[in-house]
Structure 1
Amino acid sequence: MLRLLCIASGVLALTAASPAAAQDAEPCDQQAFGEHSIRIETVAARPGARLSVTAVRFDGPFGGKDVSLRCLTAWRVTPSRAARLSRDRTTLIIDQNAAPGTVITLEARVGATITRGSVTVVGSADPSVLGRWRRSCGEAPDVAAIATILIERDRYFLYDFEGRQWSGSYDFDPHSRTIAFGPHVLPPPPESRLEGTASVDTEARLTLEGVYFGDPWQRPAGRDCPMVFSRAG
């Protein structure tokens, strides 16, 4: 009986182990396989900013996996005068005097594999639409608002509409603040308007004027709800 209890306890412990713990336990030579990159938090890289850093790898069709910190060595930040890494290697700290336009490259090794990521410094007052944003206009059935929109550094965007997703490329002009979404990977919902202007206010809210992501079920989809998003995460 005691033996059965011990076995049952062991099974429960195994099933309770988190995916992150299992990933962290994977040998470093295995984590060196696949394509690698360093993911830097998707927010504006302004002087003095602190951006979270994660090394990821892609070794199949199931998306990226975090690389364990214990497997990363030979960290390097270039140029070193423009930024530095936190002691725990999880945060990129932009120098207060970093000049706008400076490209900061972060590099590390996973075994013999080199992994990199980069950001471009923007001015303290320069407009930026980067980030994950959330829009909410209530629960009424004719309000079906978009849950989130992700705007990445590499001109890639993705928006989630009640679990259905559309993605593609975008263009943003920080001087005129004009923004255009597309082309899309898949055709966008009918009645979508994909060009307008974008601005971020002092309360970190993104407003899209003239842009409207149509409802895939052709409902009103919140026509009376402004395209205003708050930062999500």
Structure 2
Amino acid sequence: MLLMRKVFGQAAVLCLLLLGHASCFGVSISSLTAEQRDALLINDFYPQYACPGDTLKLEIKAVTSPYFFPMAETSVDVRTEWQVVPETGITIDQKRGQLVVGRDVQDGTLFTISAKIRKKGNVRDNTLYVYTKKANPFAGYWEEEGGNIEELIIKPDRTFSVTAIPFEIRKDYWGTVSFDLQSGSITFTAEHGNTVPKDIDLNGSFRFDDEGRLVLEGIYFGTLIPGDSFKQKYIFKKTGR
């Protein structure tokens, strides 16, 4: 039994090493199909977010499962020349594939990241949205304490989604959020969704308590699950950036 554990343990370590090697160096671009080479990504399918002073690793990614969403992606090993517009406030290390956001870049600044590869293929541009936690303290993943909303996502670009019972990528509804840090007012605007309750009331106020929790008052995200009751106060704890 001890010998079997040792053998299985060594096999597990070898698998991890092989996976790490693949993750670090990526697949050869020559191993991709023409369809994959024509739809390469920078980092992933979604926009990139960073704060002033942050360092962002840049990678070329290929879609490996185009028939499922979110699409699975893998790193591609190919020589790349990175470009960012506008150039002001951004430093790029071409050899390491790293982008550094200047500490003086203002909240809400939007950059376009482009890539030229030395092989046949098409790389889709991506965007970089710079934000500050002072200007947007709401950005992150939140979960209601003692309630039914398991996921409230507020992105740095001031978009949001709310979901009672998360399942894969499904959201109940989503839209934009606006707020006034001085007056403490906040408004969520539902724009689209899979489930948009008719009884939503999304204008209210906010505050952060001593534990850093987000307290919303005068807001009701609607009856998202059967038996849910009307309320005008939520307390959310942060679960991720």
Give the TM interval when normalised to the shorter protein: 0.5 to 0.7
Corresponding residue of 1:49: 54
Q: Is the 8 A contact 1:128 1:200 kept in 2?
A: no
Amino acid at match of 2:29: C
SS in 1 for 2:114: strand
Q: Is the 8 A contact 1:40 1:52 kept in 2?
A: no
- Counterpart selection for 2:154 from 133, 141, 151: 151
SS in 1 for 2:204: strand
Q: Is the 8 A contact 1:189 1:216 kept in 2?
A: no
Verify: 1:208 aligned to 2:209, yes or no. Answer: no
Q: Mark the runs of 5 or more structure 2 residues left unpaired by the alignment.
A: 1-7
C-alpha displacement of 1:199: 5.7
Corresponding residue of 2:90: 83
With the length of structure 2 as denominator, give the TM-score of the two structures.
0.62
Amino acid at match of 1:93: V
- Counterpart selection for 2:200 from 192, 196, 200: 192
C-alpha displacement of 1:88: 4.6
Q: Is the 8 A contact 2:28 2:77 kept in 1?
A: no
Instruction: Give me the identity figure in percent.
Output: 19
- Counterpart selection for 1:64 from 66, 71, 84: 71
With the length of structure 1 as denominator, give the TM-score of the two structures.
0.64
Aligned residue pair count: 211
Corresponding residue of 2:29: 28
Structure 1 residues 19, 228: closer, same or farther in 2, change over 3 A?
A: same
Alignment of 1:45-194 (within 5 A): 45-50=50-55, 60-62=66-68, 63-71=70-78, 73-85=80-92, 88-89=96-97, 92-109=99-116, 111=119, 112-122=121-131, 125-137=134-146, 143=147, 145-152=148-155, 156-163=159-166, 165-174=171-180, 177-189=185-197, 191-194=199-202
Q: Mark the runs of 5 or more structure 1 residues left unpaired by the alignment.
A: 1-8, 138-142
Corresponding residue of 2:3: none
SS in 2 for 1:76: strand
d(CA) in 2 for partners of 1:202, 1:121? 27
Q: Is the 8 A contact 2:83 2:115 kept in 1?
A: yes
